[in-house]
Structure 1
Amino acid sequence: DRKGEFQPRIVKKNQTTLSGDIEEKILSMYAKGMTTSDIEGHIRDIYGIEVSDSTISRVTDKILPLVKEWQVRPLENIYAVVFMDAIHFHVRSEGQIIKKAVYIAIGVQMDGIRDVLGMWVGENESAKFWLG
């Protein structure tokens, strides 16, 4: 406004970070395979605010250290049971939505606690993946 009295509620004036709620929404949309420009459009539609592609990338990049930490965590020496399966997801690849298989191994500790031992992306579900 001309008098400078408008006070935004969602993203405050001169604010450089987003609220946790908006960041969670961005991460959720990113995990579902949406592009940064798609996410920007949805945030604009939902909250009526402009969020740049670089801001969205900065939010999504925050999870990379957590992923690295998970990948190098220590595992148990023995698991009572190990389940192996594949889950199919639609993912964006080269501008197209395609179906990919995510192979997952879950170990059940002796006390019943379950650990995701690993996840791998494959072209499609096949026994050859587990044998190779």
Structure 2
Amino acid sequence: MSLRDISSHISEMYDTELSHTVLSKITGCIFIEVKAWQSRPLEAVYCIVWMDAARYKVRVTHKVLYNILGINRDGYKQVLGTYISESEGDNFWLQVLTDMQNRGLEDILIACTDNLTGFKEAIESTYPKADVQSCIVHQIRNSLKYVASKDQKEFMRDLKRVYRADTKDLAELALDELAGKWESKYPVVNASWRVNWEKLTTYFQYTQSIRTLIDTTKNK
């Protein structure tokens, strides 16, 4: 957003005029604070770290804002950083994870992502002991894109038996039953769950209390 855009927005919202000189001084002060926040030291260990993407159209190009949220050993959530990119990939994620390493982050126990391109390769080289859990919500949303609206309610009832199962073995049985019922009609959906199965089921190895922390489907 340019100074002209900011000036127009302030004028429209608050009926107040600010010169470009004043705006430049204000944004300059803000940028100093932002840079200090972006480079602040992190704690050595975070139990769970979420990588979430928000996409914005900026003039002609599309940019992606990645928010990194973590739970520390005392159970408090913190925003670890925000990173902007026009594309994903292992080089981008390697830069992000290396930046967090340089700021003092020594270990991540569980990393939760929305199946980000290149993330698996990057985290294996920076935090090789971290478990990676793909976001169930994103997987569900992607699945429903291929399911006819008239079938979605029944399909979701069957799908809940998969990701809400008590154990991974029971989840696999439920997935087999789901495939037996729906695969002929929606083969792409079944194939997607099969391909991503290991990354989608990491949380089954943990106790229910930890699974609740990881879980982002409680409102589904």
Q: Which runs of 5+ in 1 are unaligned?
A: 1-32
Q: CA deviation at 1:125?
A: 5.0
Matched, 1:113 2:76: yes
Distance 1:119 1:48 in 2: 32
Q: Which residue matches 1:84?
A: 51
Q: Deviations over 1:105-126 (max 9, x none)?
A: 2110122211222222121456
Q: Does 1:74 align with 2:41?
A: yes
Give the number of the structure whose alpha-carbon radius of gyration is greater. Answer: 2
| Residue of 6, 27, 32 corresponding to 1:65 | 32
Deviation at 1:65, TM superposition (A): 1.9
Unaligned runs of 5+ residues in structure 2 are: 90-115, 123-220
More strand by share: 1
More helix by share: 2
How big is the alpha-carbon RMSD for the aligned residues of Structure 1 and Structure 2? 2.3
Structure 1 residues 125 and 39: CA distance shift in structure 2, 3 A: same
Q: Find the residue that maps to 1:64 and give its secondary structure.
A: helix
Change (3 A) 1:44 1:103: closer
SS of corresponding position for 2:35: helix
- Identity %, equivalent residues: 36
Q: What number of residue pairs does the alignment pair up?
A: 95
Find the counterpart in structure 2 of residue 40 from structure 1: 7
* 1:17-61 CA-partner distances (Å, limit 9, x unpaired): xxxxxxxxxxxxxxxx3x211232343445554321121111111
